[in-house]
Amino acid sequence: MSASASDYHTIAGRLAFPSLAFIDGGWQAAASRRVYENINPATGAVIGTVAHCDAADVDRAVAAARASFEAGAWSRAAPEVRKAVLLRLADLVRAHAEELAVMESLDSGKTVKDCLNEIGHEVPTFFQWYAELADKSFGKVAPTGEKTVAMIVKEPVGVVGLVLPWNFPMLMAAWKLAPALAVGCSAVLKPAEQTPLTALRLAELAMEAGLPAGVLNVVPGFGETAGQAIGRHDDIDVVSFTGSTEVGAYFLKYASESNLKPVGLEMGGKSPMIVLDDADIDDALIASAINAAFWNGGQNCSANMRQIVDRKVKDNFLQQVLDKTRALKVGDPLDPATDIGSMVSAEHRTRVLSYIEAGRQEGARLLAGGGISAGLPGFFVDPTVFDEVAPAMRIAREEIFGPVLGVIGVNGLEEALQIARDTDYGLHATVFTSNIDKALHLAKRLPCGTVAINGFTEGNVTTPFGGFKRSGSLARDNGTEAVDQYLQTKTIWMSLR
Ligand code: NAP
Ligand code: MG
């Protein structure tokens, strides 16, 4: 029998929340002894305090990471040794999935349903997949002729700084840690200030799986202090960041003002969904449109919030989208029947509401939602649909990162493509058409890292994920490409006598 809301509330009541930093294989208070309050955004209640790490703690974490990297117990271990540890970690995450999912839900306002899927399935898959890659990656021998042998080998880059957002806390940790650890790097990870809990617990589980002390350090804290200290640290070899475009730009500045470390950036988006007049407006398409907009309460970097629909099918499309939107259940994230939990914080909700107001002011037509969900504690926003959104409006151009869908009517493929391309971002797009030539024409002409055809998806562990333009750097998470962020290329040239 599947668990009920009251089962999850019972688990929540029994949970112990991590509150310290995890440095050099153990729990440590911030050097300053300071803590900050962690709030459950679905109730507004304080659920605990967390170490408020700053530059001094990042220094300690980097020193531990460097020492572990140089000692070599992980960085120079046989690949099958790293594989075995990461496979054990995948199993441990699976075994603790329920506890971790409830913890993440309380920490973030995400629904327990989504947390269970991410933590019970996706996170272990990531550790397993990169574990399996560890002992199946080969170097190359260059074609240099009779008198020489030139080997091209990959080596772990060293100490990596991983800075994460709050929308998929444990999944983003896995996206970066799994490939970084699989190739032998040591890591200093800063979770988002709102959602530190599961990353801290993951560090503890990694030790239980057999990861040597110092290889994974987690420093909860704030962007301006702990985040900036990672960005500017001279002994961090690479930073991989996921978050907003604004903060991604800071990391380029930090790197240029310190040791010129490479910076991998996965950033924001304002992704289009195009529905052509020959698309089948069936249940599957509508489910995709709803999922693309409202999954995770719209707090999703690849959310398709500009739904560009041919006018010949728009009325039909919109009516079905509205019916489904109004049926979405907003409320207690620990209730498995809930579709949309709370926004991550009061501050974020205010920002989302300000965009809804901007949509109204600029003349878009509000058809569903439009405000705070009635009768709920915490920081909820109703799923909101605007029609008659014009491409120049703020709600069509700026990333809202909340449940605010804008529908734009167009006449034909070329107008749809022109509007879809007209953005500073380039993370994702979805295309619906029954014509394969049109589908591939659009896929080739859309400047973004992922194009989904006839179904919204971000891909899976096997497919690289990242953005064009202001959505990302050349670095990619996921797929075999992800390990490139954490590897150096070395040539060993041998002259034969
Ligand atoms: P954010 O404000 O950019 O924060 C991301 C991380 O950077 C947090 O750990 C944050 O710490 C830290 N940070 C903030 N200011 C900093 C500074 N001045 N120096 C150094 N570090 C700093 O993003 P967010 O609000 O957490 O997440 C939402 C954004 O992430 C959206 O734009 C979304 O599109 C993007 N995102 C992208 C992807 C992708 O793969 N492309 C995936 C998920 C999310 P604090 O927690 O203290 O602010
Ligand atoms: Mg929290």
Burial 209-230 (b: 16+ CB within 10 A, else e): bebbbbbbbbbbbebebbbbbb
> Is 80 exceeded by the pLDDT of residue 210?
yes
Task: For CATH 3.40.605.10, list the domain ranges present in the chain.
Answer: 17-267
Which two structure tokens, joined as six digits, stand for 352? 């989302």
Catalytic residue among 118, 266, 399, 448: 266
Specify whether 448 is catalytic. Answer: no
Specify whether 301 is catalytic. Answer: yes
Asked if residue 314 lies in contact with residue 347, where contact means CB atoms within 8 angstroms, the answer is no
Residue among 167, 189, 465 whose CB has most ligand 1 atoms within 8 A, to mutate? 167
Q: Confidence class of residue 374 from pLDDT cuts 50, 70 and 90?
A: confident
Average pLDDT over residues 429-451: 98
Whose alpha carbon is nearest atom 14 of ligand 1?
223
> Is 90 exceeded by the pLDDT of residue 2?
no
Which two structure tokens, joined as six digits, stand for 23? 């440095």
Whose alpha carbon is nearest atom 34 of ligand 1?
268
* Chain position carrying tokens 């992922």: 450
> Is 60 exceeded by the pLDDT of residue 379?
yes
Tell me how far the alpha carbon of residue 37 lies from the centroid of ligand 2, in angstroms.
9
> Can you tell me which atom of ligand 1 is nearest the CA of 166?
26
Tell me how far the alpha carbon of residue 239 lies from the centroid of ligand 1, in angstroms.
13
> Is 90 exceeded by the pLDDT of residue 35?
yes
Q: Which residues contact 135 (CB under 8 A, 6 or more apart)?
A: 78, 79, 80, 83
Asked if residue 8 lies in contact with residue 334, where contact means CB atoms within 8 angstroms, the answer is yes
User: Domain 272-459 adopts which CATH fold?
Assistant: Aldehyde Dehydrogenase; Chain A, domain 2 (3.40.309)
- What is the predicted pLDDT for the residue at 392? 97
Q: How far apart are the C-alpha atoms of 307 and 251, rounded to whole Å?
A: 32
Which residues sit with their C-beta closer than 6 Å to ligand 1? 163-167, 190, 192-193, 222-224, 227-228, 231, 242-244, 247, 250, 266-269, 301, 399, 401, 427, 467
- What is the predicted pLDDT for the residue at 1? 54
Average pLDDT over residues 144-162: 97
Average pLDDT over residues 37-59: 98
**pLDDT tens digits along 211-268:** 999 999 999 999 999 999 999 999 999 999 999 999 999 999 999 999 999 999 999 9
Question: Which CA distances in Å does 302 have to 53, 158, 270, 496?
Answer: 30, 30, 7, 52
Task: For CATH 3.40.309.10, list the domain ranges present in the chain.
Answer: 272-459
Q: Specify the length of the chain in residues.
A: 497
Architecture category of domain 17-267 in CATH: 3-Layer(aba) Sandwich (3.40)
DSSP 8-class letter at 119:
I
Which ligand number lies closest to the CA of residue 192? 1
Tell me how far the alpha carbon of residue 161 lies from the centroid of ligand 2, in angstroms.
21
> Is 80 exceeded by the pLDDT of residue 203?
yes
> Can you tell me which atom of ligand 1 is nearest the CA of 266?
41
Q: Which residues contact 314 (CB under 8 A, 6 or more apart)?
A: 407, 409
Asked if residue 57 lies in contact with residue 23, where contact means CB atoms within 8 angstroms, the answer is yes
Of 373 and 77, the one with more pLDDT = 77
DSSP 8-class letter at 487:
E
Tell me how far the alpha carbon of residue 280 lies from the centroid of ligand 2, in angstroms.
41
Q: What's the farthest any 2 CA atoms get from each other in the chain?
A: 83
> Is 90 exceeded by the pLDDT of residue 431?
yes
Catalytic residue among 301, 388, 448, 458: 301
- What is the predicted pLDDT for the residue at 20? 98
> Is 60 exceeded by the pLDDT of residue 336?
yes
Helix, strand, coil percentages for the chain (3-state, nearest 5): 40, 20, 35
Asked if residue 460 lies in contact with residue 257, where contact means CB atoms within 8 angstroms, the answer is no
Average pLDDT over residues 47-59: 98
Average pLDDT over residues 278-301: 98
Whose alpha carbon is nearest atom 11 of ligand 1?
223
Backbone angles phi, psi at 480, to 5 degrees: -70, -20
**pLDDT tens digits along 338-350:** 999 999 999 999 9
Q: How far apart are the C-alpha atoms of 187 and 115, rounded to whole Å?
A: 24
Average pLDDT over residues 482-490: 98
Mean pLDDT of the chain: 98
- What is the predicted pLDDT for the residue at 188? 99
Average pLDDT over residues 161-177: 98
